[in-house]
Amino acid sequence: MSLNIPTTLTWIRIALIPAFVGVYYLPHDWLTPTQQNWTGAWIFTIAAITDWADGFAARRLKQSSAFGAFLDPVADKLMVAAALLLLVQMKRADAVLAFIIVGREIAISALREWMAKIGQAKSVAVNTVGKLKTTAQLTALIALLLYEPFFPGIPTPLLGNVALWVAAGLTVWSMFYYLKLAWPHLSKPQPLIEDRDDVR
Could you state, in order of their start, the residue ranges of all structural domains in the chain?
5-184
One-letter amino acid of 132: L
Regions of the chain short of the pLDDT cut 50: 192-195, 199-200
The residue among 159, 17, 35, 43 whose CA lies nearest residue 92 is 159
**CB count in 10 Å sphere of residue 150:** 14
Fold observed for domain 5-184: Four Helix Bundle (Hemerythrin (Met), subunit A) (1.20.120)
Q: Whole-angstrom Cα distance, residue 73 to residue 55? A: 11
The predicted-structure confidence for 111-145, as pLDDT tens digits, reads as follows 777 666 666 555 555 667 778 888 999 999 999 99
Provide the whole-model pTM.
0.84
pLDDT of 47:
93
pLDDT of 118:
64
